[in-house]
C-alpha cells in the first residue's frame, strides 16, 4: 500500500482534477481493504475519499493536511502490519 501513500503525498501538490478523481477511487479501495482487514483507523479515510458521495471541503490547505496524514497512515500500515 506504499503506492497509495505516495499518491497521497503527490496529492498535496497542485495537480489537475483528473488526478484527484483517480486518487479518490484508489484511496477508497485501499481504505476499504484495510477496514476489511480490521484496521478501523481507515474508516474516516474511506468516508472522506469515497467517490460515490464525495466530500468537498473547498480548501486546498485542509486537503493537503488530510492527504499527508492519510499518506502517513497508509505508509505506517504497509510498514508495520503487512
How far, rounded to the nearest angstrom, does the alpha carbon of residue 27 sit from its chain's CA centroid?
Answer: 4
- What is the per-residue pLDDT across 63-72, written as a single tens digit (0 to 9) for each? 999 999 999 9
Q: Is this model's pTM higher than 0.85 or not? A: yes
**pLDDT tier for residue 82 given thresholds of 50, 70 and 90:** low
d(CA 46, CA 55): 11
Amino acid at each position: 500500500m506504499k503506492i497509495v501513500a505516495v499518491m497521497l503525498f503527490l496529492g498535496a501538490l497542485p495537480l489537475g482534477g483528473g488526478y484527484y478523481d483517480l486518487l479518490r477511487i484508489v484511496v477508497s479501495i485501499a481504505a476499504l481493504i484495510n477496514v476489511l482487514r480490521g484496521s478501523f483507523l481507515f474508516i474516516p479515510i474511506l468516508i472522506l475519499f469515497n467517490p460515490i458521495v464525495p466530500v468537498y471541503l473547498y480548501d486546498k490547505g485542509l486537503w493537503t493536511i488530510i492527504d499527508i496524514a492519510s499518506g502517513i497512515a497508509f505508509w505506517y500500515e504497509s510498514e508495520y502490519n503487512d
